[in-house]
Amino acid sequence: MEKPCNNPVCEHQGSMETCPLNQLGVGGCGNVVGVSGDTEVRRRLLEMGFCNGAAVEVVRRAPMGDPTEFRLRGYSLSLRNEQAKFVQITPAPKPK
């Protein structure tokens, strides 16, 4: 049985080790550990910089919750929840 995540900015109920990017709360940070999805979605996410080990931060969400702005590799980008769910991250404390 998976333990619930106890990271205060992660809103999912799965494993403590990983979290889908769309479940990370505003201000939450993490490191990419995997990208899934069909070939086109996966290729697009990898081209955007969601490669293993990349640090990502949730900057803000739109008023209705979709899309979400992320900071990744020194730039900002927005993804819809439908795309962000394919990126698995390990929640991490915000870098100083």
pLDDT of 47: 92
Q: Identify the CATH assignment for 19-92 out of 2.40.37.20, 1.10.10.350, 2.30.30.90, 1.10.760.10.
A: 2.30.30.90
Tell me the per-residue pLDDT of 45-63, one tens digit each, with 9 for 90 and over. Answer: 999 999 999 999 999 999 9
Using alpha carbons, select from 89, 63, 82, 96 the residue that is nearest to residue 9. 89
Q: Which residues of the chain have pLDDT under 70?
A: 1-16, 94-96
Could you list the beta-strand ranges (E) of the chain.
19-20, 29-35, 55-61, 68-72, 75-79, 87-92
pLDDT of 94 reads 67
**Model pLDDT, residue 91:** 85
Q: What is the pLDDT of residue 85?
A: 93
pTM of the entire predicted model: 0.76
